[in-house]
Each structure stands twice: as C-alpha cells, then as structure tokens.
C-alpha cells in the first residue's frame, strides 16, 4: 500500500459525495488499474466511509437506520417463514467437511467418529464446557451450526424492526466459532439488500466484522468459511471481515465504537460464575457509546437461568434491557431463578445433517429445534416496549392476596405454549416477582375475547381482565386461569 493512495482516497472521500477509482490516476504519481486500487483500498473502505461498486464508482456513505417500511418488512419476514440454511452456506459447509475429512466423510469409520463426537459434544455442551479439538468443529458444523445460524436471524429481524441496524455498522462477534453469527449476519444483510434493490430503494451498506475467539482451529475454520463466502463481491455493500483476535474474551481489550456486539453461545463456556461474566461483557463494551449488545444462550434450565443472572448484573452496571423483558411497573426486575426462552420453530434439515443421520438412532444427529434464551441490551434507555401499567391491574407480586378471586393483570408473555393443544400454558411476567406465574387457557374456554393471548409473540405485553388466580403450592407458582369470561388484549 502506498501512503499516497490512501491519503488521496481520504481527501476525495472527505471532499466529494462520489468519485471513480480511475479518477484517482489524475492525481497519482503513477497509473494504477482500477482493480488494483480497489484491492489496495478495500480494507480501508470502512474507515473511509466509502462503498465502491462493480464499476469502481465510490460513494460516500451516510450512517442512518436501515429503512424498515412495512413492505420491506413484510417481504423480509416472508423469507424467514421457512427457516433454513441458504443453499450457498450449505454447500460451503459441506465442502469444508469434505476437504477436512474426505469425500466419504458420511460413511465408514470417519462417520462413526463424527457421530461419536456429536453425542459427546452435546453432553459436554449442556454441562457448560466444551473443547474443540479438530473433529469437534466438524461435529459442531453438522449439528449446532444450522440452528444457531437461523435463530440469530430472528433477533436480527427484531433489531431491524426497531431501527437498531444502520447503514454503517461495526460488529463484534465474540466466541465466533466457525463463523455462525458472522455468516448469518452477512446472509441477512444480503437478503435485505436484495429486497431494497427489487423495490428500487437506494441503500448502501458499509459493514466491518471483528471477532474474538480463543481456539485456533475455530479461527482457521472461520477464516476459510468467511473468505470463501465473501469471495463474490456484493454490489451496494462493502463488507470487511478482519482477522480474528486470538484470545480469551476475558483478556480482550475494549472494542472501539462498536454498534453491535454479539455473544452467541459463548458466555456459558466461560469458566467463571454468571455474575462475573458481566464484567467481561462490560469491559469489551466499554469503548463503545451507541451500542447494542446481544447475548444468546441455550434454553436449558442451567444456561438459561445463568444468562438472566448475568443480565441482572449488567443492569446493575448501567445497561438497560431493550428486550425481551419489560419493566411493566417501572421498577427493576426482582426475579431470580428466571427460566424463560423462545421457540420460533424448526428449521429444515440441511442435506449434510441428513447424511450424517443415515444410521441407527438417526434422531440423535438431527437438530432442527430453535429454542434459545436471549437478551438485547442498550445503554441509552431505549426499550422495545415502552409500556407502563396504570392502577387498574394487580401486580403479580401481590397475587397471594387474590387467590380464588378474579383480577386484572398485565404481563409480558415469556414462553411459547408450555402445555398442549387441550390446555395452553404461557409463562407470564411483569418484573415484580421471582415466583413463576402461568396463564392457563383450556381450549374449551377459548373465544374471540381471550384468543389474543395465543397470538402474542415472545416478550409481547397482554392485558388480561378477569383472570381467576390459583396457587400451585407444590411448585411455588401461580396459575392465572383464563376462562370464557376472561378478556385478553395486546398492549404493546
């Protein structure tokens, strides 16, 4: 890189709304091909605020929220209705497996070894610790990667709806593993750009993705998958993926001016108590002002409740919960022991998963169930639902006084249906109590007045009028019986 090229690009980027790379030759001491200039400047596009297209026309980018009008949103939501790995990613993962383990990886001794690792990895992972020597990354790609890739796009959709995704973004993927979050983000943004272009909405993107990862073999896999994926340039987008920072997250320095930091299935792997994990998050986040933090963990009891402990420790440090929890009465969440997760459904089985599952007990190698616990945090008091309760409702913390009576309550729906088709059961929470509360709707009581309970999404707020309170002493919990005389309505 000659300093002359960079300083000229800086000058042009600061003084013009657009220019072509060939124009640079008017001012340089020697002539360069446009392609050469593009290659030299590409790693600097993010800092220069430039997006350069296939014709080498460079445009100065203004940072603003990505337009999320109704028609764009509907189309984007439509794309995620049948969640699956995109064909290109599926192919990429399968070729990685093939060249790591040979073309016949899904038969014979290699397949046996991989299957053994998948089972072992599941056991260790739920136990909260995991090592990734060599074949482990293959097992991870085959078993965990597809679901984690797809479920993250649900959270991205939420960030997009709320205006938290912008045209210029610095993203940090902590504990990146093989690149699940990085690849999922790029795929999401490319789909979005496709929709903009179809609708003739002129949007350009300038994205930089940094990573912190402690395992070298995962870094190797990350580098290979992301560089192959990005080898096709995307028009209207400059996407820079930097070399992963090889270190434990606890030792990483604060990330400067990040817009989005993602901890996906990594905090539970840190061998420190959940409260102390908040220190690592806070330190990494301390260099960024206008930041969104996304933390995702598995939905099982141990990891899910641990995330809520970390979340509360982060709130004490000055972060606010954007979603899924709403402080309905304006007071901080007192709920310890909170087990709440979302279940957006199943993904389609990728071909490579089908191949490794062609054996006895194939169900052991099929993983399609999206089920996760997450929190989105901000520091500027922005929240997804700004709802506040007014006097006509009973706080869940006060239910003891109302057992056997009909009362009005307002709460967030904090689970999918935990019951069955005969009796719908939803965990509900208003952030005033740590005792679990469940709205219980027998199907024979369902009618137009109370049906909206079923239609509420995870974290949505419902006002419930005339619910009968029952105490479940055996489980130290309360049931809020919804009968045909109970009305429920959305409140966010």
**382 DSSP 8-state letter:** -
Nearer Cβ to ligand SAM (149/393): 149
Q: Which of 139, 166, 176, 367 binds ligand SAM (CB under 6 A)?
A: 176
d(CA 328, CA 410): 8
Is residue 155 involved in binding ligand SAM (CB under 6 A)? Answer: no
The stretch near ligand SAM (CB under 6 A) out of 91-99, 202-210, 213-221, 318-326 is 213-221
d(CA 278, CA 372): 19
Q: How far is the CB of 254 from ligand SAM (least distance, A)?
A: 15
d(CA 173, CA 179): 8
Q: Which of 180, 190, 311, 432 binds ligand SAM (CB under 6 A)?
A: 180
Is residue 249 involved in binding ligand SAM (CB under 6 A)? Answer: yes
Q: Which of 151, 185, 214, 255 binds ligand SAM (CB under 6 A)?
A: 214
Nearer Cβ to ligand SAM (370/462): 370
d(CA 352, CA 130): 23
Is residue 146 involved in binding ligand SAM (CB under 6 A)? Answer: no
- Residue ranges with strand state E in 340-451: 342-346, 369-378, 406-413, 423-429, 437-442
Q: How far is the CB of 302 from ligand SAM (least distance, A)?
A: 15
Nearest to 425, CA basis, from 492, 369, 479: 479
Name residue, tokens 């003739």.
200
Rounded to the nearest 10°, the torsion over CA 392, 434, 413, 452 is -40
Please check whether residue 238 is in contact with residue 46, taking contact to mean a CB–CB distance below 8 angstroms: yes
Is residue 372 involved in binding ligand SAM (CB under 6 A)? Answer: no
Residues whose CB falls within 8 Å of the CB of residue 14, separated by 6 or more in sequence, listed in order: none
Residue 472, strand partner residues: 477
Is residue 248 involved in binding ligand SAM (CB under 6 A)? Answer: yes
The site for ligand SAM, by CB under 6 A, has a size of 20
d(CA 424, CA 244): 46
d(CA 314, CA 317): 5
Q: How far is the CB of 282 from ligand SAM (least distance, A)?
A: 15
Nearer Cβ to ligand SAM (45/372): 372
The tokens of 125 are what?
A: 């992972």
Q: How far is the CB of 139 from ligand SAM (least distance, A)?
A: 11
**CA 218 to centroid of chain Cα atoms:** 20
Please check whether residue 432 is in contact with residue 331, taking contact to mean a CB–CB distance below 8 angstroms: yes
The tokens of 18 are what?
A: 């657009």
Is residue 128 involved in binding ligand SAM (CB under 6 A)? Answer: no
Name residue, tokens 């929190």.
375
The stretch near ligand SAM (CB under 6 A) out of 185-193, 258-266, 435-443, 453-461 is 258-266
The stretch near ligand SAM (CB under 6 A) out of 29-37, 173-181, 323-331, 393-401 is 173-181
Is residue 132 involved in binding ligand SAM (CB under 6 A)? Answer: yes
Q: Which of 12, 171, 266, 347 binds ligand SAM (CB under 6 A)?
A: 266
d(CA 224, CA 230): 10
Is residue 284 involved in binding ligand SAM (CB under 6 A)? Answer: no
Is residue 245 involved in binding ligand SAM (CB under 6 A)? Answer: no
- Contact characters 427-466, ligand SAM, x per CB under 6 A: ----------------------------------------
Nearer Cβ to ligand SAM (218/433): 218
Please check whether residue 140 is in contact with residue 121, taking contact to mean a CB–CB distance below 8 angstroms: yes
Judging by beta carbons within 10 Å of its beta carbon (0-12, 13-18, 19+), is residue 470 exposed, middle or buried? Answer: middle
Nearer Cβ to ligand SAM (133/391): 133
d(CA 204, CA 7): 23
The stretch near ligand SAM (CB under 6 A) out of 171-179, 358-366, 440-448, 475-483 is 171-179
The stretch near ligand SAM (CB under 6 A) out of 47-55, 60-68, 206-214, 433-441 is 206-214
The tokens of 189 are what?
A: 């943004």
Q: Which of 121, 167, 265, 486 binds ligand SAM (CB under 6 A)?
A: 265
Check whether the bond before 406 is cis (ω within 30° of 0).
no
- Locate all alpha helices (DSSP H) within 102-242, ordered by sequence: 108-126, 135-143, 145-161, 180-198, 216-229
Nearer Cβ to ligand SAM (151/486): 151
Q: How far is the CB of 383 from ligand SAM (least distance, A)?
A: 25
Is residue 328 involved in binding ligand SAM (CB under 6 A)? Answer: no
The stretch near ligand SAM (CB under 6 A) out of 18-26, 75-83, 212-220, 237-245 is 212-220
Nearer Cβ to ligand SAM (58/284): 284
Q: Under the rule (CB under 6 A), what is the footprint of ligand SAM?
A: 132, 148, 175-177, 180-181, 212-215, 218, 248-250, 264-266, 269-270
């Amino acid at each position: 890189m000659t300093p002359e090229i960079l300083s000229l690009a800086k000058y042009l980027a600061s003084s013009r709304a657009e220019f072509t790379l060939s124009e640079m030759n008017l001012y340089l001491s020697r002539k360069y091909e446009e392609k050469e200039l593009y290659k030299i400047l590409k790693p600097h596009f993010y800092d220069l605020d430039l997006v350069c297209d296939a014709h080498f026309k460079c445009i100065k980018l203004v940072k603003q929220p990505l337009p999320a009008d109704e028609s764009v949103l509907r189309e984007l939501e439509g794309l995620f209705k049948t969640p699956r790995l995109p064909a290109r990613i599926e192919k990429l993962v399968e070729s990685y497996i093939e060249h790591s383990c040979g073309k016949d990886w899904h038969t014979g001794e290699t397949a046996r070894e991989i299957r053994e690792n998948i089972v072992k990895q599941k056991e260790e992972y739920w136990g909260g610790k995991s090592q990734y020597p060599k074949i482990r990354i293959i097992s991870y790609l085959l078993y965990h990667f597809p679901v984690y890739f797809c479920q993250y796009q649900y959270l991205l959709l939420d960030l997009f709806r709320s205006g938290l995704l912008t045209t210029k973004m610095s993203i940090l993927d902590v504990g990146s593993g093989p690149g699940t979050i990085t690849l999922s983000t790029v795929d999401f943004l490319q789909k979005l750009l496709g929709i903009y272009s179809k609708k003739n909405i002129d949007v350009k993107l300038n994205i930089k993705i940094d990573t912190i990862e402690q395992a070298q073999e995962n870094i190797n896999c990350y580098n290979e998958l992301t560089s192959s994926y990005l080898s096709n340039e995307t028009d209207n987008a400059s996407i820079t993926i930097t070399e992963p920072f090889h270190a434990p997250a606890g030792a990483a320095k604060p990330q400067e001016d990040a817009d989005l930091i993602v901890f996906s299935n990594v905090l539970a792997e840190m061998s420190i108590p959940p409260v102390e994990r908040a220190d690592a998050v806070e330190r990494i986040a301390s260099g960024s002002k206008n930041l969104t933090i996304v933390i995702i963990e598995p939905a099982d009891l141990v990891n899910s409740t641990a995330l809520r402990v970390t979340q509360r420790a982060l709130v004490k440090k000055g972060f606010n919960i954007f979603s899924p929890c709403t402080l309905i009465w304006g007071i901080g969440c007192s709920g310890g022991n909170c087990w709440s997760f979302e279940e957006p459904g199943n993904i389609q089985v990728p071909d490579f998963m089908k191949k490794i599952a062609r054996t006895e007990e194939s169900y052991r190698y099929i993983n399609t169930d999206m089920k996760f616990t997450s929190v989105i945090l901000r520091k500027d008091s922005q929240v997804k639902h700004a709802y506040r309760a007014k006097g006509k409702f009973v706080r869940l913390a006060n239910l003891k006084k109302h057992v056997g009576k009909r009362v009005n309550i307002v709460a967030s729906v904090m689970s999918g249906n935990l019951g069955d088709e005969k009796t719908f059961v939803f965990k509900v929470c208003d952030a005033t109590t740590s005792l679990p509360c469940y709205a219980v709707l027998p199907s024979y009581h369902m009618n137009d007045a109370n049906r909206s309970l079923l239609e509420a999404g995870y974290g949505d707020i419902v006002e419930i009028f005339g619910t009968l309170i029952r105490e479940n002493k055996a489980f130290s919990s309360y049931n809020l019986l919804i009968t045909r005389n109970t009305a429920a309505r959305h409140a966010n």
